[in-house]
Amino acid sequence: MTALLDVRELQTHFMTRDGTARAVDGVSFTLERGQILGLVGESGSGKSVTGFSILGLVDPPGRVAGGQVVFDGTDLIAGGEKAMRPLRGKRIAMIFQDPMMTLNPVLRIDTQMIETVRAHETVSRAEALRRCREALVQVGISSPDERLKSYPHQFSGGMRQRVAIAIALLHKPDLIIADEPTTALDVTIQAQILSEVQKLCAQSGTALIWITHDLAVVSGLADRLAVMYAGRIIEEGPTAAIIANPRHPYTRGLIDSVPHGKRHGAMLTQIKGMTPSLLNLPKGCKFAPRCPRADAACQVEPALTPAGPGRQVRWHHPHAAAEAPP
């Protein structure tokens, strides 16, 4: 069975006065219909830029410098904007971290949602309005008729985010790229959104890339997990297997820094140091300066190698369980 999305050696660079920042550096993964992939990492790891690159939303001075993004058999990078335009918003949707990247502040919600429906389908205004109501109810917004007549500034930040999520769900797309969409939501609404997203993926075969730094959310949502660091995937595999037994010290550090499950009063483990500057990356393994198990072998850049059934890890000791940082 052909994968819905096949990302191959994706590279996205940003040109600066001080040199070229390789925000995404050789990222590869596949996504099947109905599958949920969690893309996790610290701020600056390249996970959001990966999502923007798939959709062709990287603005200058950034550019997609290489690789392939094959969606349902079509290479979107080779096809350019002509190939992307009919897909964006209908078959591929994105939920941004900031809902005002989706919403127009001077237009009513009904105008924006109806335009979204009719931009890709020839339906009556009444039918488009019916779909809009259903989408708002789906994300937990009561009194949808009243809300449709409102402007974005009349909503709270969390309400605006729910409207943005509803817009992404309007066409029941084949692929949704969600960039930390539940950050501004309270836990009750967050749980409802996660439930609706899982239901959509299971029932309609929608694939989902969930970009986040919140391992607690993604551990209960994603089928597979890809951990990014300095523009590269450093560990990838089934979510349950990675959470239970991470093979890379960076993944272990991320998991150990989560408060959930820790004894009351126990100190949280931190990953020492900071993410490196993309303009001045260390030689060899990019995580070596922060790694408690770095040795001479780390002077050479490790490749992604198999580390168990359906798993890959970018580390020189892939078959040893990673130890928690001291």
pLDDT (tens place) for every residue of the chain, 326 residues total = 689 999 999 999 999 999 999 999 999 999 999 999 999 999 899 999 999 999 999 999 999 999 999 999 999 999 999 999 999 999 999 999 888 888 999 999 999 999 999 999 999 999 999 999 999 998 889 899 999 999 999 998 888 988 999 999 999 999 999 998 887 778 888 888 888 888 888 888 999 999 998 888 898 899 999 999 999 999 999 999 999 999 999 999 998 888 766 777 777 788 888 889 999 999 999 999 999 888 999 999 999 998 888 999 998 875 455 444 44
DSSP class of 153:
G
The Cα–Cα gap between 240 and 219 comes to 7
Q: What is the pLDDT of residue 318?
A: 59
Q: Report in angstroms the alpha-carbon separations of 212 from 17, 45, 216.
A: 30, 11, 10
Q: What is the pLDDT of residue 325?
A: 46
Look at the block and give the residue holding tokens 């010290």: 249
The Cα–Cα gap between 249 and 289 comes to 12
Domain boundaries, the chain: 1-91+173-326, 102-170
Give 1-91+173-326's CATH code, choosing from 3.40.50.300, 2.60.120.10, 1.20.950.20, 3.40.640.10: 3.40.50.300
**Residue 175: what are its φ and ψ, rounded to 5°?**
-140, 130
Q: What is the pLDDT of residue 319?
A: 47
Q: What is the pLDDT of residue 1?
A: 61
3-state secondary structure of 24: strand
DSSP class of 149:
T
**CA gyration radius for the chain?**
21
Q: What is the pLDDT of residue 320?
A: 54
| Torsional sign, CA 171, 198, 28, 57 | positive
For the beta carbon of residue 325, count every other beta carbon within 10 angstroms. Answer: 18
The torsion defined by the Cα of 120, 124, 130 and 136, in degrees rounded to 10, comes to: 30
The Cα–Cα gap between 90 and 157 comes to 25
Pairing of strands 207-212, 175-179: parallel
Give the residues across from 226 on adjacent strands. Answer: 39, 236
**Alpha helices (runs of H) in 92-175, residue ranges in sequence order:** 109-120, 125-138, 144-148, 157-169
